[in-house]
Structure 1
C-alpha cells in the first residue's frame, strides 16, 4: 500500500514541488510488524525510546486515511501558494499567511512562529462538541475552514505548515502522550532542529524540548510512514510549565478512544 494512496495526475504537482506532507516512503504490509531494537534507545527519535510499529488496527487505519486527505490539501495549498489571486480557498489563504510569516524567519524562530500563529488561529473545541463523534482527525484545510479543533488537529495543521515553510519531512513527527495528572491523552507536533526535538503544543506558546517535558508518558510517535508504540517508559517528571506562559487551552479527551482501540502487540 503506497503511503499517499492511489496516484493521480493532479497530485504530481505536490510531489514535483516537494510538498507531499511527509514525502514518499515505502508501504506497510498488514502482516508485518517492524520493531525497534529491543531495549535500545534511538537518539534520532523523540525521547530516545524504543518503539514498535503498528501495521494494522484503528490507529493505523486513521493515520493512513488522514495522510491521503492531507496529501490532497497539500496539492491545493501548493497551487494557492503559486497563485494567490486565483486561490478559491479562504482556509488555504489563511494557512499560507502563517507560512509566509514563518518563511521570513530562520531556525527556531520559524518553528515558533508557526506554533504561536496556529495556536491563535484555531479555537480549542472537542470532537464531541464539534462533530458529535468521539474521535475525528481533520485535515489542515478542514480545521482552518472551521477555525476550531482539538489537540491532534492543531498538530496536523502545524505539520502541514512546517512542510510548506521548508522543514524536511524526516524532521517532523506527531507525538501522543498520556498526561499523568489528568489521565488524558494529548497530541503535539514535534520538529527536529540541530539534532534536538522541539514540541509544538496547543497548550503553550513556548516550544519545549522533548528532554524537558514533564509529567507525561509518551505512548505513540507518528512519522512519514508508520505509527509506532513506545515501549513502557518511566514518567517524565520534574518541573512544571513556567507560570509566565499563557493559560493552557482545554485538553480534549477524544484521543482516549483511539488509544483504547489500538491492538495490543
Structure 2
C-alpha cells in the first residue's frame, strides 16, 4: 500500500472513532461509511468472547427474558424486605440467597465471584425442566429456583446474575451467555462476570471459573445484559442487519 493508501486508511479510522465519541455528523446519510446499526456493534465489540453483537428485538429468547425480568421486579422487593428484617422474613428461599450474598460481600475480586459460583452450584441440584415442570425450557427466577432447590443451566445462570448484583458487582460487568456446545450439539447458558477487563464464566458444570478466551468447543449465540438481549454475529459490523433468529431450546441435560 502506497502513501496515499495509508492516508486514506487513517482517514477512515479517524472518521469511525470521531463518530463513536462525538456522534455522526448531521449531514451524514445512511449510505456513508458506517450505519447506525454498525456503530452499535462497534460500541459493543467488548462483549464476552470479543465478538460483535446485534440487538434482538423479537423472538422466543427475548420473551423468556422479559418474563424473567417481570418476576425479578417482584423478587427484588421481597429480597429488600427480607434483607432489612431477616427475623420476620417468611421466605426461606430469600434467606438462603441472602446468606450466599453475605458470604460473597465479605470477599473481594475473584474470591467474591468464586464464592457465588461455588455456593449456587452446591445449593441447586441439576434437574431438567421437563422433569420438574413437565415443560421444555422454562426460565425460572432465583427465588423460584431456590424454593424448589433444583434447576437447569439457565436457572443457575440467572441466580448467579442476580446474586452477583446483590453482592455489589456492577451490572455493566455482568452478562448471561447462551452458547452452543459443539461437541454434544446442545445449547448451554452461563453467567459471565468481568474482572480486571477479563470475562470469567460461572458455569454450573464446574467449580473453577474459566476466562472466555480459554473456553473450548463452544460457539457463543446470545448475550443478555441489564438492558438487552443481543445476538452474536460472525460478520463485519457494516454488513450486519438486525437478526432475530433464535437458538434451539436449552438442552434438558444442562
TM-score class normalised by the smaller sequence:
0.7 to 0.9
Gaps of 5+ in 2: 1-35, 236-246
Question: Which residue number corresponds to residue 99 of structure 1?
Answer: 101
* Alignment pair present for 1:147 and 2:149: yes
- Please say if residues 40 and 54 of structure 2, whose CA atoms lie closer than 8 Å, have aligned partners that are also in contact: no
Question: Which residue number corresponds to residue 13 of structure 1?
Answer: none
Runs of 4+ with deviation above 6 angstroms: none
Question: Which residue number corresponds to residue 139 of structure 2?
Answer: 137
Distance in 2 between residues matched to 1:103 and 1:53, nearest whole Å? 32
Question: Which residue number corresponds to residue 222 of structure 2?
Answer: 220
Question: Which residue number corresponds to residue 203 of structure 1?
Answer: 205
Question: Which residue number corresponds to residue 236 of structure 1?
Answer: none
Could you say what secondary structure the match of 2:248 adopts?
Answer: helix
Moved more, 65-74 or 203-212: 65-74
- Tell me: CA distance 1:78–1:38, structure 2 relative to 1, closer, same or farther (3 Å): closer
> How far apart are residue 232 of structure 1 and its match?
3.3
> How far apart are residue 95 of structure 1 and its match?
0.7
Length-normalised TM-score, structure 1: 0.73
Could you say what secondary structure the match of 1:204 adopts?
Answer: coil
> How far apart are residue 188 of structure 1 and its match?
0.1
> How far apart are residue 41 of structure 1 and its match?
8.5
- Tell me: CA distance 1:79–1:36, structure 2 relative to 1, closer, same or farther (3 Å): farther
- Report Cα offsets for 1:60-89 as digits up to 9, x if no partner: 111111111012111111111111101000
Could you say what secondary structure the match of 1:256 adopts?
Answer: coil
> How far apart are residue 117 of structure 1 and its match?
0.3
- Please say if residues 137 and 249 of structure 2, whose CA atoms lie closer than 8 Å, have aligned partners that are also in contact: yes
* Alignment pair present for 1:118 and 2:120: yes
- Report Cα offsets for 1:89-130 as digits up to 9, x if no partner: 000001111111111100000000000000000000000110
Higher helix share: 2
Question: Which residue number corresponds to residue 29 of structure 2?
Answer: none
Question: Which residue number corresponds to residue 157 of structure 1?
Answer: 159
Could you say what secondary structure the match of 1:99 adopts?
Answer: helix
Aligned length: 205
> How far apart are residue 47 of structure 1 and its match?
1.0
Larger radius of gyration: 2
